[in-house]
Amino acid sequence: MIRQLVRIQKRIVPDLLEEMQTRYDILHYVRLMQPIGRRTLAASLGLTERILRREVEFLKDHGLLETATQGMSLTDDGRNVLRSMHAIMAELAGVTDMAKALKEKLGVRDVIVVPGDSDETFWVQRDLGRATVTRLKRELSAEEHNTIAVTGGTTMASVAAMMSPDKEGRKMTFVPARGGLGETLELQANTVCSRMANRAESDYHLLHIPDEVSTETFVKMVEEPSIKNVLQMIRDASIVVHGIGEAKTMAKRRSASPELLAQLEAEQAVAEAFGYYFDRDGRIVHRVQTVGLQLKDLKRVKHVLVVAGGHSKAEAIIAYVKQSPDVILITDEGAAATILKG
């Protein structure tokens, strides 16, 4: 029905579609970056201030936008209208067909594609976060308590930024899927976990242990009651949300030795997740002993949401899903187009 309506509108009232696209872009960008000033919004969307002023006044008059000293934000009506427009605009942009084609090519459970390329436009990563939160809530159980394990990283930080309470009141508890990776504090799994929980008005438990430890240290630490309890919650998670890293980038973040970097280069490693490094065929070529979820644990998880975008992540996505196809992939147009061309 949506597809048919879009086809008719393109032929009969193409100017209306252009105007709708502009207003959707404004509402969408404000939702992702609010509160935001008018000048910043105009520059980000490539609109003249005169055109933006006209459109903003229209949206304000219809109760979709509100302004304050800090900048513009969406009203409740604005959020509802924007939510209703997502499917129509995805059809208009062609990403609905792209998602179907990508699902068939990769053989995964499901695919969601958002417009744009997060390698080129920074706010597309926020849109990945929005799409992930929407899908996560779709998978929540009303009958059981939902334990959600999340990893760290820049993409997952964007998911946390877009998190919101569940309107149906379904119970959620957030846990980090792994220990600290030695990266900046705001990108660590513990930080992402607590921010998601706070924005969702839910409970959380943290894992106070480094991601990489020696076997002797690991054996001692996991016997600590508080750590043992959180590790069990992580293994029992009903939903896991994680990103996919590029092999070289993740190895450097872990301060890998020159010898290991050379090994990964020789083995043609292209992707990393949970301390496992994969080559282009999805084979594990190296593994780092990490604390938290292991690759084998994902087979018991009901819903695994993988979030990765940008054309530079295309090869990593392909490699990872070859060995873990039962996932829901949330990606962007840049990565999807690159994968489909291959």
| CA of residue 247 relative to chain centroid, distance | 19
198: pLDDT confidence band, cut at 50, 70 and 90? very high
Residue 333's domain spans which residues? 94-341
How high is the pLDDT of residue 214?
64
In a shared domain, residues 70 and 103: no
Specify the amino acid at residue 193.
Answer: C
157's tokens: 């930080």
User: What is the predicted pLDDT for the residue at 85?
Assistant: 85
Q: Are residues 123 and 144 in the same domain?
A: yes
Last residue of a domain, one of 39, 60, 91: 91
Straight-line distance from the first to the last Cα atom of the chain, in angstroms, rounded to the nearest whole number: 31
> In which residue are the tokens 């032929």 written?
11
Residue 326: DSSP 8-state = S
Q: Are residues 11 and 121 in the same domain?
A: no
Q: Can you tell me the distance from the alpha carbon of 205 to that of 323, in angstroms, rounded to the nearest whole number?
A: 29
Nearest to 155 by CA among 252, 249, 244: 244
pLDDT at 290 over 60: yes
Phi first, then psi: give them for residue 332, nearest 5 degrees. Answer: -120, 175
Confidence of residue 149 (pLDDT cuts 50, 70, 90): very high
The total number of structural domains that make up the chain? 2
**Which of 333, 335, 295, 340 has its CA nearest to residue 314?**
335
Judged by average pLDDT, the poorest of 84-88, 91-95, 152-156, 216-220 is: 216-220
Quick one: pLDDT at residue 2? 59
State the pLDDT at residue 18: 80
Give CB contacts under 8 A, 24+ apart, made by 41-47: 41/72, 44/123, 47/22
Model confidence pLDDT, tens digit, residues 160-191: 999 999 999 999 999 999 876 555 677 889 99
Lowest mean pLDDT among 16-30, 37-51, 210-224, 325-339: 210-224
Asked which of 31, 63, 91 is the last residue of a domain, the reply is 91
Shared domain check, 85 and 70: yes
Please tell me the distance from the alpha carbon of residue 266 to that of residue 287, in angstroms, as a whole number: 15
How far apart CA 209 and CA 190 sit, in angstroms, is 10
CATH of the domain at 266: 3.40.50.1360
Predicted local distance difference test score (pLDDT) of residue 212: 62
Please check whether residues 81 and 100 belong to one and the same domain. no
* Confidence band of 140 (pLDDT split at 50, 70, 90): very high
Is residue 181 within 8 A of residue 191, CB to CB? The reply is no
Dig out the tokens for 233 from the structure: 């919650």
Picking from 157, 150, 109, the residue whose alpha carbon sits closest to that of residue 129 is: 157
Return the pLDDT at 241.
98
pLDDT digits over 241-272, tens only?
999 999 998 888 877 888 989 999 999 999 99
Tell me the CATH number at 81: 1.10.10.10
Q: Same structural domain for residues 61 and 113? A: no
pTM for the whole structure: 0.85
Q: Report the pLDDT value the prediction gives residue 211, as an integer from 0 to 100.
A: 58
Of the pLDDT bands very low, low, confident and very high (cuts 50, 70, 90), residue 308 is: very high
Cα 122 to Cα 32, 44, 253, 310, distances in angstroms: 11, 10, 21, 10
The two structure tokens encoding residue 260: 């290991």
What would the mean pLDDT of 75-95 be, rounded to a whole number?
A: 85
CA distances to 77, 156, 178, 190, 313 from 194, in Å: 29, 12, 13, 6, 26
On whether both 106 and 10 belong to a single domain, the answer is: no
> Given this model, what pLDDT does residue 13 score?
62
Report the alpha-carbon distance of residue 181 to residue 290 in Å, rounded.
Answer: 9
Phi, psi of 308 (to 5 degrees): -160, 130
Assess contact for 130 and 89: CB atoms under 8 A: no
State the average pLDDT for the chain: 89
Q: How far apart are CA 82 and CA 181, in angstroms?
A: 36
Last residue of a domain, one of 38, 66, 91: 91
What per-residue string of b and e applies to 102-112 under the rule 16 or more CB within 10 Å gives b? bbeebebeebb
Q: What is the pLDDT of residues 20-78, one digit of tens each?
A: 889 999 999 999 899 999 899 998 888 898 999 999 999 999 999 999 989 999 999 99
